[in-house]
């Protein structure tokens, strides 16, 4: 069973069984649109690509989309075409897998579960919470067990670092030959920002508290905290102070009840 913000549908076909070309295109397209505009939203350019690619498979297709609640119980099972089953399952998933908050937080302690044993997957602890991170705030990925950036893509990631989307787009000739999926991962973890006059200004600070060294964090354009210096209980029950503790981050999506424009809302 897959517990995700939205069920998969045609993603089982593309990019599921696709090669690196469509995988990289698919992920970079999402990064260009930006993570807050994609994640948790049903009809996006990325979904249109997925369904367009799925339509190229002319065989009859029957899809079962399971929706699992946060307690890992089966909450719904939808059958039909990949498009129809995904559509219905997504509606239920939106009710179960999104936590809404009234206001953004200046400090978020995002506790990474042991199942995320690389920063490649632990990045979810940032991009599932970016929508409720305040401008100028700090999100700390608290992962004392984490030792690796990524076994498969670590060399690329450590070479380019973590940056906002425009850092890459406005220097495209420099980065166009890096696997686009790696570029997408970089922007998802670092979050929104601008790049003007060769100066990058990210919307918020992302700090890593893990076994990855301070020097390597600085090399990758991330903040560093010694995980031994953090007592998570010190951050609990402080939402009225603008501090949010998420004990098991990466599965639930957090969104504002009245999101700003950069997150697809009508606010400021």
Give the domain-ending residue among 96, 124, 147.
Answer: 96
Could you tell me the pTM of the whole model?
A: 0.92
pLDDT at 267: 62
Domain match, 49 and 138 both: no
- Which mean pLDDT values do the consecutive 10-residue runs of the chain (268 residues) have? 55 80 91 94 89 91 92 94 93 95 98 97 97 98 98 96 98 97 97 98 98 98 98 97 97 94 75
Domain match, 18 and 134 both: no
HEC letters along the chain: CCCCCCCCHHHHCCCCCCCHHHHHHHHHHHHHHCHHHHCCCCCCHHHHHHHHHHHCCCCCCCEEEEEECCCCCEEEEEEECHHHHHHHHHHHHHHHCEEEECCCEEEEEEECCCCCCEHHHHCHHHHCCHHHEEEEEEEEEECCCCCECCCCCHHHHHHHCCCCHHHHHCCHHHHCCCCHHHHHHHHHHHCCEEEECCEEEECCEEEEECCCCHHHHHHCCCEECCHHHCCHHHHCCCHHHCEEEECCCCCCEEEECCCEHHHCCCEC
Give the domain-ending residue among 96, 114, 144.
Answer: 96
Give the domain-ending residue among 63, 96, 129.
Answer: 96
pLDDT at 113: 97
**Structural domain tally of the chain?**
2
pLDDT at 19: 81
**Domain membership of residue 231 as a residue range:** 100-263
pLDDT at 1: 31
């Amino acid at each position: 069973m897959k517990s995700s913000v939205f069920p998969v549908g045609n993603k089982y076909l593309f990019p599921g069984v696709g090669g690196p070309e469509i995988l990289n295109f698919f992920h970079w397209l999402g990064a260009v649109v930006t993570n807050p505009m994609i994640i948790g939203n049903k009809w996006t350019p990325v979904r249109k690509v997925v369904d367009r690619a799925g339509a190229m498979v002319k065989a009859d297709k029957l899809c079962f989309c399971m929706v699992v609640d946060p307690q890992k119980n089966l909450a719904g099972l939808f059958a039909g075409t990949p498009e129809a089953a995904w559509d219905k399952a997504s509606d239920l998933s939106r009710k179960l897998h999104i936590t809404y908050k009234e206001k953004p937080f200046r400090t978020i302690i995002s506790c990474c579960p042991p199942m995320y044993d690389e920063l490649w997957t632990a990045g979810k602890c940032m991009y599932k919470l970016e929508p409720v991170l305040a401008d100028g705030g700090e999100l700390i990925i608290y992962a004392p067990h984490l030792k690796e950036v990524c076994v498969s893509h670590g060399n690329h990631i450590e070479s380019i670092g973590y940056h906002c989307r425009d850092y890459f787009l406005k220097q495209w000739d420099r980065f166009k030959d890096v696997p686009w999926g790696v570029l997408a991962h970089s922007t998802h973890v670092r979050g929104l920002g601008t790049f003007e006059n060769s100066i990058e200004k990210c919307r918020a600070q992302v700090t890593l508290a893990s076994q990855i060294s301070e020097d390597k964090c600085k090399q990758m354009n991330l903040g560093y905290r010694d995980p031994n210096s953090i007592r998570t209980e010190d951050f609990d029950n402080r939402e009225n102070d603008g501090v949010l503790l998420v004990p098991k981050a990466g599965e639930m999506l957090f969104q504002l009840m009245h999101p700003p424009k950069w997150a697809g809302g009508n606010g400021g």
